[in-house]
Amino acid sequence: MRRIYSLFFFLFIGAVLLFNACKKDPIEPLPAADTTQNPVPTPTPNPLPTPVPTGVSVDLTTVPYTKLSEYRFFTGALKDQIPADNVFPYKPASSLFTDYALKKRFVWLPSGTKATYLADNKILDLPVGAALIKTFYYDNTEPSNTTRIIETRIMIRKSTGWIFAEYVWNNEQTDATLQMNGSYTPVAWSQNGTSTSVNYRIPSETECLTCHKSNSNPIPIGIQPQNLNNDYPFASGNANQLQYWISKGILENNLPSTIVSTIDYHDESQPLKTRLRSYLDINCAHCHRENSHCDYRPLRLAFSETLLSANMGLCVTPDENIDPMLIQIIVPGNIAKSVMHFRLNSIDENTRMPLLGRSVVDEVGVQLLRDYILSIDDCND
């Protein structure tokens, strides 16, 4: 416990190697393509040829695998994240801010199975054996302006429920290894031309569960119909994601005629409150809804609940008096006295919100909140 300096040294050396690796081997931007699987050539003659396995592998008796590559979710170089046959990309309308990390999301279902619609605001009911894959990466990392993949998080539905599998990418960006205990890795990159750095947190299994749960049961978050009822630029062209899933045979064709849907909070053509509600849903609702980590607080921030402004904290006295100045969660027209603004704008571990997943302020999100607060006059918005 006292001998930690060797660990620091190791991390330092690791970081140096990492940067060097990036420097020698720049990664092209990841295409969001849905391509058919290519046959994998056998590279060298083999005196005892064995069949090269193909197709996605999710053996529920042995997952999580030690290496990301073992699932064969991708074809070609793993770092290119080219989805294999029947692995489909998706993206929710608004996404969670995680220190500016970029994300690629994919879904895979066992052959012949389908997801089921339950409600606009409930995660699609995915069949046993299904997998959700989410890769976190940065473009333009320093010093050589390269792409660096940090981690790939997988959730797999077993018969007993969802499990987490966390894969951390190697410095060479050739594969990722199962690591469930969490770690830090420094990342420096150019964010819209500004040099930015964070000590990036790769979550432990319990950190995954903190957000991804209902009561104590692990669940996905993003795959709610309300978040997928929008167009995505598939390789075959733009298409509504839910309709695309139906066309690919992975979603039952029983959707209601209308789905109350979230929007992309960046979309300035949309009403301010709808943008904020979409932002709060994907960034906050996983802890501020029934049966969640913090459901003992009065906030209910799911998109389906924030039509009621009190659920969003408008004119609501906070349970916790952080500062006598912060009198309500949202004070109409008063940014300085609003707890939500203070917490979204804080980077202190004990006051920031969300609690996990970020170490810097999401300036876009905070500005959206500011705009909303200044737009309202009273508690009846």
Binding site for another protein (CB under 8 A): 1-2, 4, 7, 181-182, 184, 201, 204, 206-207, 209-210, 213-216, 287, 290-297, 315, 319-321, 323-325, 327-328, 331-334, 336-337, 348-350, 355, 374, 377-378
For another protein, give the closer residue by CB, 127 or 357: 357
- 289 CB burial (10 A radius; 0-12, 13-18, 19+): buried
Query: CB of 69: closest distance to another protein in angstroms?
Result: 26
Query: CB of 181: closest distance to another protein in angstroms?
Result: 6
For another protein, give the closer residue by CB, 274 or 359: 359
Query: CB of 231: closest distance to another protein in angstroms?
Result: 35
- Count other C-beta atoms under 10 Å from residue 297's C-beta: 17
For another protein, give the closer residue by CB, 235 or 322: 322
Query: CB of 294: closest distance to another protein in angstroms?
Result: 5
Residue-wise burial string across 48-77, b where 16 or more C-beta atoms lie within 10 A, e elsewhere? eeeeeeeebebeeeebbbeebebbbbbbee
For another protein, give the closer residue by CB, 15 or 327: 327
Query: CB of 217: closest distance to another protein in angstroms?
Result: 9
> What DSSP element (H or E) covers 155?
strand 146-158
Q: For residue 354, is the peptide bond before it cis, meaning its omega torsion is within 30 degrees of 0?
A: yes
Distance between CA 377 and CA 331 in Å, rounded? 9
Cα dihedral value 278, 282, 288, 292, nearest 10: 150
Contact 152, 167 (CB under 8 A): yes
For another protein, give the closer residue by CB, 296 or 308: 296
For another protein, give the closer residue by CB, 171 or 359: 359
Residue 146 CA, distance from chain mean position: 21
Query: CB of 156: closest distance to another protein in angstroms?
Result: 20
Q: Map tokens 């943008």 to a residue.
A: 275
